[in-house]
Amino acid sequence: MISVDYSKVLDFINLNDLPRIGQEVTEIHYMLHKREGAGSEALGWLDWPIMDHKETIAKINACANRLRKISDVIIVIGIGGSYLGSRAGIEFLDNYFSDKKPEIVYAGHHLSSEYLCGMISHLKDKNFSLIVISKSGKTTEPAVYFRILKQILESKYSKEESKERIVVVTDPKSGILRNMANKEGYESFDIPENVGGRFSVLTACGLLPLACAGFDIKKILKGAEMAYQNFLNPDVLKNDCYKYAAIRNILYRYGHKIEIIANYEPKLNSLSEWWRQLFGESEGKNGMGLFVSKVGFTTDLHAIGQYIQDGERILFETVINVQKVNSSFYLPEDKEDADGLNYLLGKNLTEINNSALIGTMLAHIEGGVPNILINLQELSEEVFGYLVYFFKKACAISGYLLGVNPFNQPGVEAYKDNMFALLGKKGYEDLRKKIKQKGL
Ligand code: PA5
């Protein structure tokens, strides 16, 4: 499914580093699986791939088929862990410029009114449905968009038909969304209490939108199950997932404090965003953690490539390479060779892209940027499920290596409180006074 090549890191670390950190990793492995570490109440994702999900899969597929029949557009409303995973999967698997029906669009992942106006005009004369996803059920961005889109839906369809066009994915028991679903009779799915937002892509949170987009969610879970089995070995030298976690921490300890995920296939851009949120929100705590960033090459070689090659030496790259692509396009011959490209005749675009990857890796390594290379066999449902589990487990191990609780996100609350105070929400009066005193 995937293979991980660490050979381009060895010049930057000491040979004994890996076995040394390996002892810590093995201890963390047992702590994780015995559920004894910080945040262990949120480990529902760990054994998820080997649990029986037949009933849920059938229910998700039935719901997706129903929505697909009645919708030209399905709007997935959510933010952070409640939307990045499904978007990552859909873009990973979809064709470019697809005019597949239904169209999947996203909302509630920001507060732009320009976007909303554009969306409303796009929906004119189209049949649409809403999938609203929020574990807590109270996040402002999706809640605001849901209220507005629900009213538009209800003004287009009868109350009864509107209900058929709204599906809720939220906490099984509590929260505003759960109460709304119960009261209104919306079809609903659970994000289990013990699975946090950014670890929830293999639950209905990610799987329902993926099924609506026409993908085989059984295969996604199959891939995750293979990853589960392959990454059980407590020995860091025999477990690529743990090796990835260990190496990024070794590099961090040597001062490579920024990890950039790089791809050469734009279908992976949203996967990179999901990865960035997974690691950024899990690890950036207590004044610690790798700063995680993303680039899409070769596009970004013309944007940030100079810095990577030549700027401050605090970076390393994790490069994702897709080994098998479905299309290959050969450069046509031009007798005049006016553009000087005839030296590429007989080569297809994938080979040219591959040369860019190898050439860039070599240049960056020579420039002092360690590179980890992750090869994906292909862009399939199984590989997506496998990769998602690989990163989730690596993130848990890596967070514990850093000494933080990888499963909470206390820092995300600070901006929300200020925003509530500024917008006059009840209960935030003291904070509002404090903000005013600062002259803001
Ligand atoms: O990973 C997380 O927990 C967060 O990114 C959440 O997913 C995000 O804040 C959205 O929260 P909710 O699903 O409660 O709306």
Q: What digits encode the pLDDT tens for the residues 57-94? A: 999 999 999 999 999 999 999 999 999 999 999 999 99
Q: Is 302 a catalytic residue?
A: yes
Q: Is 416 a catalytic residue?
A: yes
Best of 41, 82, 193 for a ligand 1 pocket test (most atoms within 8 Å of beta carbon): 82
Residue 440 pLDDT > 90: no
Residues of the chain above pLDDT 90, percent: 89
Active-site choice (124, 302, 335, 438): 302
Q: Is 109 a catalytic residue?
A: no
pLDDT recorded at residue 67: 98
Rounded Cα gap, residues 435 and 440, in angstroms: 6
| Residue 130 binned pLDDT confidence (cut-offs 50, 70, 90) | very high
DSSP string, 348-399: BHHHHHHHHHHHHHHHHHHTT--EEEEEEEESSHHHHHHHHHHHHHHHHHHH
Active-site choice (122, 219, 416, 425): 416
What does the pLDDT look like over 317-351, one tens digit per residue?
A: 999 999 998 777 899 999 999 999 999 999 999 99
Containing 343, the helix (H) or strand (E) segment is none
Q: Which residues of 179-203 are buried (b: 16+ CB within 10 A; e: fewer)?
A: ebbeeeebbbbbbbebbbbbbbbbb
Closest ligand 1 atom to the C-alpha of 79? 10
Question: Looking at ligand 1, which residue's alpha carbon is closest to its atom 8?
Answer: 80
Identify the residues whose C-beta falls under 6 Å from ligand 1: 79-82, 134-136, 139, 142, 196-198, 281, 409, 412
Please give the distance, rounded to the nearest whole angstrom, from the Cα atom of residue 169 to the centre of ligand 1. 12
Q: Are 248 and 25 in contact (CB under 8 A)?
A: no
Closest ligand 1 atom to the C-alpha of 196? 3
